[in-house]
Amino acid sequence: MKGRGYRYLEPAALARVRNLGLAARGVVEGFIAGLHSSPYKGFSVEFAEHRKYAPGDNLRYLDWRVLGRTDRLYLKQYEEETNLRAQILLDASNSMAFAGAPGGLTKLQYGSFLAAVLAYVMMRQQDAVGLTTFDTKVRLDLPAGASPRHFDEIMKRLEAVRPGRTTDLGATLHRLADRFKRRSLIVLISDLYDDPEAIATALHHFRHKRHELIVFQVLDRAEIDFPYRGTASFLDMETGETVQVDPSYVRDDYRQRIAEFLDRCRKLCADCQIDHVLMDTSEPYDRALSRYLERRARP
């Protein structure tokens, strides 16, 4: 899995994250021994419970202390450590095509870089990773895989992603929550431009299905600071509606509203026990990501 030839996989970014990993915090369903706690019982790593001995069981796992106290045969059972299945959900609606600075990265490009590095980090630790892109509909749905060929497919599909038109984030996430049957790590990359209550119910749906989630909310610095001067026309990138505004009259109200929106997004994620990571496109994505991974890895 080398970065050579992939648009969204830069050697400098890989160097920054090469010693970092992304372990699941909750119980996930995996397929081979590895880094993450599995709901299936085997004979490895962490003790889970006892069970009665049955003819043919390996006496190696017999609990001799229990035998001495009770004169009964019990085996020690352990929780396996297993690799996870992860699905990266990339919002490709037209609002993600915004770039505040001429020639700067759009939010979709920034999110694509982020998705590529996350896929690299997880597949390097032998996790299975899939990619889903969506606007009002699911446009791409690659199921989780862990082979070099699958990684190559993810990178090539990312390069082909183009912004769609509108989005219905809440409804689309609801449909996706029903699509993934096995407990997984779900990584959502989006600006979260939708009714916060609709997003909240969709995230609750994922949690009800016992998935673990990380939300990377990608915004352009201009969307946060509203630095514009002089009367200007503003285009709604999803509806095509144009509004002429004097920024000086609306700046304070806009900044208050965007601050309230971000606070609401943080709170709804916290209420669902979901990591919320605000990604500002003015900061290099690899630096922001490595800072989050380092923080997540602390006990």
Instruction: Pinpoint the residues of the chain covered by CATH 3.40.50.410.
Output: 11-29+83-297
Question: What is residue 47's predicted lDDT score, i.e. its pLDDT?
Answer: 53
pLDDT tens-place string over residues 205-219: 999 999 999 999 999
Higher per-residue pLDDT: 4 or 261? 261
Q: Are 216 and 114 within 8 A, CB to CB?
A: yes
**Mean pLDDT, range 89-104, rounded to an integer:** 92
Q: Is the pTM of this model over 0.75?
A: yes
pLDDT-derived band at 79 (thresholds 50, 70, 90) equals: very low
CATH homologous superfamily of domain 11-29+83-297? von Willebrand factor, type A domain (3.40.50.410)
